[in-house]
Structure 1
Amino acid sequence: MKKLSVFLLFVTVFLATAFSSDVPTPYKIGDKATDFKLKSVDGKMYGMADYKDAKGFIVVFTCNHCPFAKKYEDRINALAKKYKPQGYVLLAINPNDPALEPDDSFESMKVRAKEKGFAFPYLFDDGQKIYPQYGATKTPHAFLLDKNRVVKYIGAIDDNVDSASDVKEKYLENAIAALESGKTPSPETTKAIGCSIKAKK
């Protein structure tokens, strides 16, 4: 009986270890987000701690190659310009592995940022350490944080990938407006529509 108990304990521990994962649990509304220090296309390192007076942060995981991300580039740029004067800092992060998607290399990021005149830090998630902490799965995937880095909204930027002029629900902007007025965003989460993040297995 004792040998059986020891054997069962061994099997339990083995299975728990075998099926455990180092992948962090994706953020939920109300979680405190991890800060980061990532290299931008201007050669400087950026993180949320650099913005002491920020009222909030718009963290968008995006990239160069994805057709969905390309359709949102101008909208993301417009968001950065609109909300920076209001105290909201937009930080865009490319989470893709350039070995799997060469168009998302750091050098290509620099070219794209210059071509599009990005008005925000375009950061490279070198080693793919940050996007799993946030639970990002698509490009683009947006996270709205308050000044204390508490997650207030997760999901899509709006409800129309194909046409900015036909958008009916500006999810991210509505969430910012709710945050400004001390209310809870509604909805707090939406489904991110985009390309899957290119990560090594």
Structure 2
Amino acid sequence: MKVFKLLLLIIFAGTVTAFTILKHNYSEGYKIGDYATDFKLKNIDGKMVSLSDYKDVKGFLVIFTCNHCPYAVAYEDRIIALDAKYKPLGVPVIAINPNNPSAQPQDSYENMKIRAKEKGFTFPYLLDDGQKIYPQYGASRTPHVFLLEKTSKGNMVKYIGAIDDNYQNADEVETKYVEDAVNAMLKGEPIQIETTKAIGCSIKV
């Protein structure tokens, strides 16, 4: 009996360890040069949105953001400005709320619709229902940006991280990470800073 119990304990420990490793690898998300898989998520207008819906684009600014986080709120106007600047150039913003509404009610689908209307969002604001997409990307904060370049092989990850170096004051920004990355991508030049640390609230699960 003792041997049987010991065997069960070993099997259980091995299973937990394997699960932990798999979970860790999965949560690491994309790296620069990876190809991001497409998704199909519900927009605030009730329609489902996929990257494949955009036929004539050069890339995407996929930004994981939300309603409640003060960092995300601080960047809302800058995200709107990014969409205004780069959508005409073929790089639209696709915003995704990764939070679990049960854990953070301010980020419910209904509140997403209210916030988007208040701010006049010019881009899709999608709900990661079931929280299946943000782990694939490896998003950990709101906001967290992933610049994708549309290629013949798929949507290649070109930049990951923060929007700029000053969330508190847009007027005191010294380095505009996202703008620099998009500008370089559109020119076919190397992106000098490919990754930065995303500064924001943790994703609520």
**TM-score of the pair, normalised by structure 2:** 0.89
Unaligned 5+ residue runs, structure 2?
1-5
Percent identical: 62
Q: Deviations over 1:9-50 (max 9, x none)?
A: x95x76543212353241110010111010011111111000
Compute the displacement of 1:89 (Å). Answer: 1.8
Task: Please report the TM-score for the alignment, with normalisation by the length of structure 1.
Answer: 0.91
Runs of 4 or more above 2 Å deviation: 13-17, 20-23
**Partner residue, 1:76:** 79
1:144 pairs with 2:147: yes
- Please give the residue correspondences for 1:1-201 in structure 2 after superposition, counting only pairs within 5 Å: 11=10, 15-21=13-19, 22-23=22-23, 24=26, 25-147=28-150, 148-199=154-205
Over aligned residues, Cα RMSD in angstroms?
1.6
Give 5+ residue unaligned stretches, structure 1: 1-6
Deviations 1:87-132 (A, max 9, x none): 0121000000010100000000000000000000000000000000
Q: Tell me the distance in 2 between the aligned counterparts of 1:118 and 1:77.
A: 6
Distance 1:31 1:184 in 2: 16
Q: Describe the SS at the equivalent of 1:173.
A: helix
**Structure whose residues are more often helix by fraction:** 2
